[in-house]
Structures are given as C-alpha cells and as structure tokens.
C-alpha cells in the first residue's frame, strides 16, 4: 500500500482532511469518490449558453463567523461581496424573507413600528401562546402567530417534508426568526460571499499538493478495484464520508433522508426573477423554490448571455436507496438507529467517520470544514503519527 491515508469522498470534509494530512504530516493521501468530480454537493460548473455558474446539487452560499474557518478557506480562494437575500411568492405577491418588518407591513397593509409589530405577532399566537406544542404546526403558530405561519411557513414546510406539519415533530423548528426591522439579509454571520473563481477552482487548489492523488468514479464497495473497504481494512487509516449505514451493509436497518429533484427551465430573457432564490410558499406550486444562477454573480454580468437565463426548480421528497441523500429525517427512531451505528463506527479500527453522511447530520459548508479541521487535530493526526 503506497499511501498513508485513504479518504473516501471528495466533499469538503474529505478535501480538508486530505489537505491537512499532506501539509502537516507529509502524508501520502489517496482520495476516492464514486462521482466523476470533486467537491461533493458543493461542486459547480459553468453553463456555456448563459455564462452562469451552476451549483449542480442546489444553491451553496458560503458564510461563517468562525475565524479559523475563514482564515483557512481564504488560503485557497478569494470571495465576492455577495450578500444572500431571499424572497417568497405568496398569493401572487413577492415578500422579503426572513420575515421582517417589511414582510409584516406588506402582509398586513400597515405601517407598524417595531414595538407595534411585536405586540401584534405576540397576540396572534392565540391559545397557543406560551405553550410548548408537540407538533410543528402548533409550534409554528405559537412562535409567530397563525397568519404569518400559514402564509409563509405551513405549506412550504409541507412541500419540503412531504408531510402535513401537524404530523411533524415540533423539534424540527426550535425557533422561527422574525426581525422587527427592515434587515432582510438572510445570514447573520460575520463573513459571507461566493468564491470568485467558482467552487471547483477553490477545491482544486485545496488538493494541488503532489502528495494527494484522486481516483474518481471509484466505488469504495466495489471489490473489483483496489481501494475497496475489505482490501483496506486494518492496513491503512481510512476517513469515510459516505453513508454510515451503507458502510455496515445496512445490517441494523436504513437511516432515512430527504432528497431533492431539480427541473431546469430556460428563458429567452436576461433575468427572470431578479434575485438568486425565489421561494414559493403556496400549495398550488409543487416546488419549494427556484434558483436563478446568474444572479449569484452580478460581478460577471458583462461576460454573461443577456438573452438567455437558466432557472432550476427544486422539488423535495423522501429518498430511496438509489437517491442522493440531502437532509436527515432525524425522527426519534432514526436517532436511535444512528446511535447504534455510531457504536459500530467507534469500534471500527483505523476508520474515522465524518461529514454529513458519515455522521447522519446536516451541516453548512463552514460547519463541515470546522468539523474536518477538528477531526484532523484530534483523530487523524494521531493515527498518522503511529
């Protein structure tokens, strides 16, 4: 075995630990991925017709308040000054999100002050005010009142989860942010932006070290290729970022996920929505949101095609075994099952499980990078020192 570490999965977790292992330990690292590209779900490519950067697995926006993560990613890319703002269509009208004073005044055709808006919403929770409901529907009403909840949250959530909110646990939402000012910036982190040269260029720079090699279209569970699970067991440290239940051949059962399908639309116009992301909160629109990729990069407008634009509609559903898992369902039964798999993973010699699939968790990009840096420091570095 001519490597010191094998990383299964070329997403942000895998790329980060590979980069750290090569740089800090001088390790020879082999990355393998079943896909034909690096970057995991953050992979992007340029659309030749429109000049837009397509985020193949849905919109990815980088933001963080973690100084270590911000310093780390800036080693490999510069960021634009993009600030994420989202809008939603309800009843034939467009409103700003998250719900803020502009949303409230537009919805109620009023001119409430911040204090008046707070009093209004507190009163609209009705009999659910101050209670601790067990289902998401009642929890949402208790947090922001019935009118706003039913307009902007209820049907969007039902489409997203393919389940009536009254049948979903309240634990899915710990809070629903309402801003009693006109701030419609979606994220509240210290730093925010998009990689100036695109996501893929960023990722390529992370693994430019000659000690890192990459094998794409390579299935970890295919015994016909040398970098497979059984051939590597006990011979070399492995960082595994695939589904944890798949690693153990689903012996305890399958963890449940939601997936996303995309339907592409192309329009003979320069700009269709006027914003990067448009949510659709009404039940008569089957998709949850639409993404217009051009609008993520206004600094590239001169080089783009002003006569065509591309939009992806996003449809959420439960994932089957052959689907791409996006979001863990995280019912109590799923958490119990994952904890059983976690015990198996902890006993697996020389294997570190990481990333959202390996730990059955949903992470933003900065959280994945942070967890990878910590995993390298605490778990992977000691393995390489042996």
Q: Report the pLDDT value the prediction gives residue 156, as an integer from 0 to 100.
A: 96
Instruction: Report which of residues 386 and 346 the model is more confident about.
Output: 346
Are 290 and 362 in contact, with CB atoms under 8 Å apart? no
What band does 386 get if pLDDT is binned at 50, 70 and 90? confident
Q: How far apart are CA 70 and CA 191, in angstroms?
A: 8
Take residue 19 and report the two structure tokens written for it. 């980069």
List Cβ neighbours of 106 (8 Å cut-off, separation of 6 or more): 93, 95
Q: Report the pLDDT value the prediction gives residue 331, as an integer from 0 to 100.
A: 84
Q: Report the pLDDT value the prediction gives residue 172, as an integer from 0 to 100.
A: 82
Average pLDDT over every residue of 296-316: 97
Are 245 and 321 in contact, with CB atoms under 8 Å apart? no
Specify the DSSP element, H or E, that contains 5. strand 5-8
Are 282 and 91 in contact, with CB atoms under 8 Å apart? yes
Take residue 221 and report the two structure tokens written for it. 């569970």
Take residue 315 and report the two structure tokens written for it. 């449809």
Q: Which of the residues are catalytic? A: 175, 179, 258, 289, 314, 362, 364
What's the start-to-end Cα distance of the chain, in Å? 16
The 3 state secondary structure assigned to 300-329 is: HHHHCCCCCEEEEEEEEEECCCCCCCCEEC
Specify the DSSP element, H or E, that contains 290. strand 289-292
> Which stretches of the chain are DSSP H helices?
12-25, 67-73, 101-108, 114-124, 136-144, 146-148, 155-161, 199-206, 229-232, 244-247, 332-346, 355-359, 365-375, 381-385
Q: Is 90 exceeded by the pLDDT of residue 332?
A: no
Q: Report the pLDDT value the prediction gives residue 105, as an integer from 0 to 100.
A: 98
Q: Report the pLDDT value the prediction gives residue 34, as an integer from 0 to 100.
A: 97
Q: How far apart are CA 371 and CA 193, in angstroms?
A: 20
Q: Is 90 exceeded by the pLDDT of residue 338?
A: yes
For the chain, counts of helices (H) and of strands (E): 14, 16
What band does 59 get if pLDDT is binned at 50, 70 and 90? very high
For 82-96, how does the pLDDT look when each residue is reduced to its tens digit (9 = 90+)? Answer: 999 999 999 999 999
Taking the CB of residue 348, how many other CB atoms lie within 10 A of it? Answer: 15
The 3 state secondary structure assigned to 57-104 is: CCCCCEEECCHHHHHHHCCCCCECCCCCCEEEEECCEEEEECCEHHHH
The CATH number of the domain covering residues in 5-82+194-252+329-385? 3.40.50.720
Specify the DSSP element, H or E, that contains 20. helix 12-25
Q: How far apart are CA 331 and CA 208, in angstroms?
A: 40
For 254-300, how does the pLDDT look when each residue is reduced to its tens digit (9 = 90+)? Answer: 999 999 999 999 999 999 999 999 999 999 999 999 999 999 999 99
Average pLDDT over every residue of 202-215: 98
Q: Report the pLDDT value the prediction gives residue 107, as an integer from 0 to 100.
A: 98
Handedness of CA 182, 185, 188, 192 (dihedral sign): negative
Q: Report the pLDDT value the prediction gives residue 168, as an integer from 0 to 100.
A: 86
Q: Report the pLDDT value the prediction gives residue 126, as an integer from 0 to 100.
A: 83
Instruction: Report which of residues 378 and 167 the model is more confident about.
Output: 378
User: What residues does each domain of the chain span?
Assistant: 5-82+194-252+329-385, 99-172
The pTM assigned to this predicted structure is 0.94
Q: How far apart are CA 240 and CA 33, in angstroms?
A: 10
Q: How many residues does the structure list for the chain?
A: 386
Q: Is 70 exceeded by the pLDDT of residue 1?
A: no
Q: How far apart are CA 355 and CA 357, in angstroms?
A: 6
Are 283 and 159 in contact, with CB atoms under 8 Å apart? yes
Q: How far apart are CA 168 and CA 331, in angstroms?
A: 9
Please tell me the least confidently modeled range out of 128-132, 180-184, 208-212: 128-132
């Amino acid at each position: 075995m001519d490597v010191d570490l094998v990383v299964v999965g070329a997403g942000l977790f895998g790329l980060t630990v590979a980069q750290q292992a090569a740089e800090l330990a001088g390790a020879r690292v082999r990355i393998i991925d079943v896909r034909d590209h690096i970057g995991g779900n953050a992979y992007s490519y340029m659309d030749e017709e429109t000049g837009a950067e397509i985020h193949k697995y849905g919109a990815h926006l980088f933001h963080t308040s973690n100084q270590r993560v911000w310093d780390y990613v800036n080693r490999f890319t510069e960021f634009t000054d993009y600030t994420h703002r989202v809008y939603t269509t309800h009843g034939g009208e467009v409103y700003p999100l998250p719900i803020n004073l502009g949303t409230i005044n537009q919805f109620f055709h009023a001119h409430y002050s911040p204090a008046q808006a707070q009093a209004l919403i507190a009163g609209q929770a009705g009999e659910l005010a101050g209670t601790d409901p067990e289902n998401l529907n009642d929890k949402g009403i208790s947090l922001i009142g019935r009118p706003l909840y039913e307009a902007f949250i209820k049907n969007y959530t039902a489409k997203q989860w393919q389940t009536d909110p009254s049948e979903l646990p309240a634990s899915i939402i710990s809070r629903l942010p309402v801003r009693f000012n006109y701030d419609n910036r979606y994220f509240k982190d210290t730093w925010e932006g998009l990689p100036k040269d695109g996501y893929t260029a960023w990722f390529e720079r992370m693994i430019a070290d000659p000690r890192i090699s990459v094998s794409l279209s390579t299935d970890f569970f295919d015994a016909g290729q040398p970098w497979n699970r059984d051939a590597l067991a006990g011979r070399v440290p492995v960082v595994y970022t695939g589904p944890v239940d798949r690693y153990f051949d689903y012996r305890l059962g399958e963890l449940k996920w939601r997936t996303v399908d995309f339907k592409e639309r192309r329009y003979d116009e320069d700009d269709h929505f006027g914003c990067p992301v448009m949510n659709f909160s009404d039940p008569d629109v089957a998709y949850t949101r639409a993404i217009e990729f051009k609008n993520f990069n206004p600094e590239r407008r001169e080089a783009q095609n002003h006569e065509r634009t591309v939009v992806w509609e996003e449809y959420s559903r439960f994932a089957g075994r052959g689907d791409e898992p996006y979001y863990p369902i995280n019912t109590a039964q799923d958490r119990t099952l994952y904890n059983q798999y976690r015990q198996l993973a902890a006993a697996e010699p020389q294997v570190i499980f990481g990333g959202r699939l390996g730990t059955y968790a949903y992470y933003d990009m900065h959280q994945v990078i942070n967890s990878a840096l910590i995993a390298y420091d605490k778990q992977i570095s000691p393995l390489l020192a042996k």
